[in-house]
A and B are shown apart, each in its own frame.
Chain A
Amino acid sequence: MSLSPAQLDRIAYRRRQTLLSVLVAALSTLVLGVLLVVAVTGAPGWDRVRESFLDPQVARDSLPDVLRGLWLNIRLLFFCAVGALALGLAVALLRTLRGPVFFPVRLLATGYTYTFRGLPLIIVLYVMTLGLPGLRLQGMPSTLVLGGIALVVTYSGYLAEVFRAGIESVHPSQLAAARSLGLTYRQTMRFVVLPQAVRRVAPPLLNDTVALQKDVGLVSLAGPIDAVRAAQIHTAETFNYTPYIVAGVLFVLLAAPLIAVTDWVTLRAARRQS
């Protein structure tokens, strides 16, 4: 079937419009880029800044140590993210339990989220990594593990609230439908409520994981050398800030895939809503 002249005209017009917008976008990006480069490189202090922040030799020298530190960040991020998600979910589920038997459990879970959302991470870190070993108990884990635990308890406090918001966003009629089929409370949670809840709060959960990625480096306050700490050591030796730039670029590269996934999930969630 052939299209009417009116439709052909519409298609041709839209195609011209698309081409035009692409051209305009490219041109404005180019102009802005040139302006930025001129402004920065033309600044009176540019040469000194370039020397102390963008020295290629220093970058090359510091890269192996910074990478080694980054590997620590990655491992910590993985274990802490898994731990915090699991613990957060557990605390959220405990908070939703009904009935007088569970009152102490509920109270404990509620106290947990209040405490660890209120307490600055640095304080938890110091108490865990410096305070606990002071007890000189048998089998005390390494500073690194203790630091990881501090991150897990702090972040699970936030994640528990995200999970709880998700659980509460599932309409009561879904629970009624599940229970009326004879599913137990646990089965209802597992098969009906949680799948819907987690889907709904996936974007904020991933967002908190991105934030965690930046915070895992704080364990270096207790000794272990992460990427930022490695950069700091190099800077102290050379009086040049380039290692920080190296670490910063690596962090962004590391975060990019996670952020991209978050955006994609958010977009998909928004689409499903409509």
Chain B
Amino acid sequence: MSLLACRGVRKLFGDHVVLDGLDFDVAEHEVVALIGASGSGKSTLLRCVNLLEELDDGTIHLDGEHITDPRADPDKVRQRIGIVFQAYNLFPHMTVLENVVLAPVRVHGMPRQAARDLALEWLGRVGLAEKAGAYPDRLSGGQQQRVAIVRALVNSPRLLLLDEVTSALDPELVGEVLSMIRDLKSDGVTMVLATHEMGFARQVADRVCFLDGGRVLEQGPPEKVFAEPVEARTRQFLGRIIEAGRL
């Protein structure tokens, strides 16, 4: 059974159809890269999975549980899914440590000291222990993004969603975030990452899904999708990416 199962997911903004009967599955410990043109609905899909958007049709199951059932408690569902945004969205009035311990303490009822220890351990692992007392505006973009990932991870989510987490970073800061994601993969964290970093998707993803026309048009192992795409639209998209020097 897959960890995440999306069936016939439909999402409209006004009369603009963004997701059009999309099917999408993620197995446990799998790392899936979502690729597709800007505006193809990658962010929308991730926000739907995290119940930040309401579906217009279809179902999403997590661990076999129907999470888009209106009777399900969305707060409880979100406790099991972590999401990291392109713009980090750290809380500016809290220190790094306070950002990280907020959910463990307030949502998961972890004792404050235990949460602190856990947070410091995570921050240490990603080389940010000495930034624990700093406010987010004192950190570089790459450091902020790593804090945002740690903030999601301390809650031990079943599934981690990463929405173009390197797109807002200066090129020399992209590496530190990508190497962190690589470490998470070897820890067995299940991840879905929307990305423009095709090279990275090729290295880290078990599977690549190409989103087009509101559906997953083509998917498969990265070496296959990148080397011999079947669909004309996929070839077109990858051609543009190569032209832009990003593959």
Contact = CB atoms under 8 A, between A and B. Distances in A.
Is this pair of chains taken from one and the same complex?
A: yes
Interface of A: 173-174, 176-184, 187, 191-192, 195-196, 199
B95 interface: no
Contacts of B71: none
B60 to A, nearest CB: 15
A179 B92 CA distance: 16
Interface string B58-93: 000000000000000001101101110101011111
Contact of A177 (B81, B89, B106): B89
7 closest A-B pairs by CB: A182-B79, A177-B89, A181-B103, A182-B107, A182-B78, A180-B83, A173-B89
B52 A196 contact: no
Nearest to B79: A182
Interface string B122-164: 0000000000000000000000000000011001000000000
Contacts of A196: 91-93
B52 A179 contact: yes
Given A180-B83, A196-B91, 20 more contacts: A173-B85, A173-B87, A177-B90, A180-B81, A180-B82, A181-B78, A181-B82, A181-B102, A181-B151, A181-B155, A182-B76, A182-B79, A182-B107, A182-B108, A183-B102, A183-B106, A183-B107, A187-B106, A187-B107, A192-B91
B75 A176 contact: no
Nearest to B50: A180
A176 B53 CA distance: 10
Interface residues of B, number: 25
A182 B89 contact: no
Contacts of A177: 85, 89-91
Given A174-B89, A195-B93, A183 B103 contact: yes
Contacts, number: 57
Contacts of A179: 52, 75, 78
Contacts of A176: 47, 52, 85, 89
A180 B102 CA distance: 12
Contact of A184 (B47, B75, B91): B75
A108 B26 CA distance: 47
Most B C-beta atoms less than 10 A away, residue of A179, A195, A196: A179
Contacts of B52: 176, 179-180
Contacts of B92: 196
Contacts of B81: 180
Nearest to A187: B106
Interface hub of B50, B87, B93 (most chain A Cβ within 10 A): B93
Nearest to B107: A182
B81 to A, nearest CB: 8
A186 to B, nearest CB: 10
A27 B89 CA distance: 53
A181 B153 CA distance: 10
Given A179-B78, A182-B75, A182-B155, A199 B93 contact: yes
A272 to B, nearest CB: 8
B94 to A, nearest CB: 8
B195 to A, nearest CB: 19
Contacts of A174: 89, 91
22 contacts: A173-B87, A173-B89, A176-B85, A177-B90, A180-B50, A180-B82, A180-B152, A181-B78, A181-B102, A182-B78, A182-B79, A182-B103, A182-B108, A183-B75, A183-B102, A184-B75, A187-B107, A191-B102, A191-B106, A195-B93, A196-B91, A199-B93
Contacts of A182: 75-76, 78-79, 103, 107-108, 155
